[in-house]
Structure 1
Amino acid sequence: MPRQCAHARCRNIQRKGNGLTFHLFPTSEGHEERRRKWCIQMKRVEGWKPKPWDVVCSQHFLPVDFDLTGQTKRLRHDAVPSKFDLPEHLQKHEKKRQTQTSKRALEERQDDHQAHMHESNTKSLDSGHVHSSIPDFHSYAAPDEAVGKVKLRRTEDRVADLELQLKNTKAREKRCKSTLSSIEDELKEHNLMTAELEEKLQAYRDFPMDLFKKPKGSEAYTAEQRRFSLTLHLYGPKAYEYLRSKLNMPSTRTLRM
């Protein structure tokens, strides 16, 4: 498999016919300091260590670093890579991840700069001085137009954030309504809620019914869930069977355990 130069911004690949030579990192005893310098020059993250097969291309060495007296081009024993002015087409370009928040912050800074330039230019015109740099907006625009655009954009962004917060709040409220009180009307509609049962269930009005969505098995139910189910079974067995057909409530056998 072709090997690529270990320098962080080099794209040279080891293959025949490209006129480059590739050299392994120093590993022999007594060359620890030289190896350390090589690693630093690779511009990698701090603490990076080369693999045994990592190489550096000849693009990063000076002509004096090579011994040309023999038939082959050899790297001198004290050579350290020091040449890194690579052509544009050989450089790696890292794409920076940009979040929506950072993008918005950048736009706000640009808008602030534009508004500041507009205001400065307007003041200079009023005082008889003209800047050599002309901002890229219409000269006939009102003095406060750029500032107004900045404020409008910020207001729109703020409204969007508030709408998102409202949406999340409604979602949480919908989840919270999944309690016993939310299904009382359903039990009454099916004539399953007696006066005695309604009185006994007052203590469980805020009981989260979605807890019964856990897997089946006695180990899945808490002590509070078992007490609620037992109360419901004793004072409203029909209501208990109705809810058990919709939710994963413990069986009568489990309640007796």
Structure 2
Amino acid sequence: MPGWCSAYSCSNERTVSNRSRGITFHKFPKDDILRKKWEVALRREGFTATDHSIICSQHFKQADFDRTGQIVRLRDGVIPSLFNFPVHLQKLVKGTATSTSRRAEESLSVASEDTPEMASSDLQPQPTDDHSYALPASPTTLKTRLNEALARVESLERERKNAFSREKRAKTTMKGLLGD
């Protein structure tokens, strides 16, 4: 099925040569909310994705892919994020808008200045932690750990599903062989 990547200034076409280079192509999601997020991420004025619109794998992070099965799939809820936009399409990075979030940032920066050993790696238990399962001091580190755990659970569930499918196929093959 021929097709071009829908991303701004991307010239990747669904061909055998691109496939051999490891570039995969992915359809836009059917979920309207997620599809709209993908369209916004592309930053193409007036672009509306169709059922045949695709985007290549070069616009996703490596962590966005599930490679546990035979087919390279995107994880649920991912949004393309790697683009090479010209200056007029690049988003301006704004600071925090609310006073509460500014105070939270200030308190986090003060806490990290007080304990420089905590800034190096909150993912590993520190000597001050009572237990290896103690919560980190930073909410962003906690969220990172949660996202990593959820991604691991999703990966293991997919592997379990694939293992059951392989087992079912093997049983069917054995029954066929025994029947002969």
Q: For this structure pair, what is the TM-score category when the shorter chain's length is used for normalisation?
A: 0.3 to 0.5
Which protein, 1 or 2, shows the higher relative CO under an 8 Å CA cutoff with sep ≥ 6? 2
Superposition TM-score, scaled by structure 1 size = 0.30
Superposition TM-score, scaled by structure 2 size = 0.43
The structure with more helix, counted as a fraction of residues: 1
Higher Cα radius of gyration: 1
